[in-house]
Amino acid sequence: MKFVPTQLEGAFVVEPEPQSDERGFFARLYCRQEFERQGVNEPMVQSSLSHNALPGTLRGMHFQLLPSREAKLVRCQQGRMFDVIVDLRPSSSTFMQHVGVELDSRSHNALYVPAGFAHGFQTLESNTDVLYMMTEYYAPQLSAGARFNDPAFGIDWPLPVSVIATRDREYPNFDATAYASNYLHALGSGDKEQ
C-alpha cells in the first residue's frame, strides 16, 4: 500500500499496489501493521456500507463530538465519488481547511480521515457504494454535522445536488469560535486530542 499525504495534517490517500497476472490482480486494502507505521494505532472496529442510487447524491458533512475519537477509512466499492474532509481540530495548523479527493472502484483508492474531522461525499455516478471502516463504535448521541454548502468551508462540489437528507441541508451556519471553545472545554474535561 502507498500512503499519500494530503495538505491536511494526518489525512492521507491510501493507494493499493496490485500484483497482476493472467487471472487479474490481488491487492491488500488494509493492513494494521502498515497503518501503525503511519502513526495510526487504533484498530478498525466497525464497517458500514452506503448505497447511493443517483449521481449528485450528497451525504455530509458529518462528525462525532468528543469524547468520540472516531477515525475512518473510506473507499468507493462501486461507482465514483468526490470525498471531502474538513479539519475541525482547533489546535491543528490546518483547522477549518478542507480537501476533496475523487475515489472510484477502478483505482480502489481510499481516504483515511483522522479523528476530529468532518466528512462528506457526493456521488458522481449512479449506484455508487461507499464502504466505511471506523475506529470507534457508532454513538448516535455524539453525532453532529455542518451544512454541505456552509460558507465557513467554501467547498466546491462538482455536481448540482440531486438528493440530500433534510438535516444535511438545514444545519445552521458553522460557528468556528463556539465550536473551538466547546471542543477545548471537552478536552479540559479529560478527553485527549490526537
pLDDT in tens, 144-171: 999 999 999 999 999 999 999 999 999 9
Residue 132 annotated to the active site? yes
pLDDT in tens, 63-112: 999 999 999 999 999 999 999 999 999 999 999 999 999 999 999 999 99
Catalytic residue among 30, 62, 138, 171: 62
Q: Which three cell numbers stand for residue 151?
A: 460558507
- Identify the CA nearest to 175 among candidates 88, 85, 84: 88
Distance, CA of 47 to CA of 174 (rounded, Å): 28
User: What is the pLDDT at residue 190?
Assistant: 59
Residue 62 annotated to the active site? yes
Distance, CA of 32 to CA of 48 (rounded, Å): 18
The yes-or-no verdict on residue 192 having pLDDT over 60 is no
Distance, CA of 49 to CA of 154 (rounded, Å): 27
Sketch the domain layout of the chain as residue ranges: 2-188
The yes-or-no verdict on residue 194 having pLDDT over 60 is no
CATH class of 2-188: mainly beta
Catalytic residue among 98, 112, 119, 132: 132
User: What is the pLDDT at residue 193?
Assistant: 53
Q: Which residues contact 106 (CB under 8 A, 6 or more apart)?
A: none
**What is the average pLDDT score of the chain?**
94
pTM of the model: 0.92
Q: Which residues contact 188 (CB under 8 A, 6 or more apart)?
A: none
pLDDT in tens, 118-149: 999 999 999 999 999 999 999 999 999 999 99
- Identify the CA nearest to 72 among candidates 93, 106, 27, 103: 103
Distance, CA of 135 to CA of 171 (rounded, Å): 26
